[in-house]
Amino acid sequence: MVASKSCLIRFQSPPKSLASDGQGRYVQSKNLHEMNIYKDVINKRLKITSWEQLEEITRKGTTQAYRILHANILLKADANADNWGNDQIAGAYGCHQGTVGNIRKRFVTEGLEAALKRKPQKVLSRQLIFDGRAEAQLIALSLSSPPEGYSGWSLRLLADKLVELEIVDEVSHETVRSTLKKMKSNLI
């Protein structure tokens, strides 16, 4: 029989979205008598399989770097082992204290797999210039005859014409190039 080993993850401070029930436990709802309480947010325990999974991720080193970092953070946050604080973990792994806190919070609220993954972006960091309609118009324009005085379409001419026709508000020649390349066009 395998001895049971557990990992205790402690928050430096509880998540703002949770309310205390006065006994060291935190609930998501305002109704403190609801029994859908997080299993003691302050003291979240890993099963032995989860501990071994984290150890394997850090030992092998063949996965994405952020997963290895997140696994190391969770292992160092173990209250039964190192029990490091956010500032110690952040200093050791060269990340921000908020990152450490967010990984701990995600582990407690969403589980191990969510803590090992990156949080998906809700909004793209940069807006797409070309949608499907604009891409189709770009291709149609590039296949049309070039303006008078030109033997063919240049990337800058295409970019200027797209703005002139009000297909897009603004676009660089490099965006036109990458879009045509993405469409596997041999027009450039």
What pLDDT was estimated at residue 177? 93
CA dist list (Å): 79 to 4, 45, 138, 158? 15, 10, 58, 61
Give the pLDDT band of residue 42 (cuts 50, 70, 90).
Answer: very low
Sketch the domain layout of the chain as residue ranges: 7-116, 132-182
Residue 161 has which token pair? Answer: 């014409």
- Inter-residue contact 60 to 44 (CB < 8 Å): no
More confident residue, 29 or 132: 132
Per-residue pLDDT of 105-142, as tens digits, reads 888 888 889 989 988 888 877 777 888 899 999 999 99
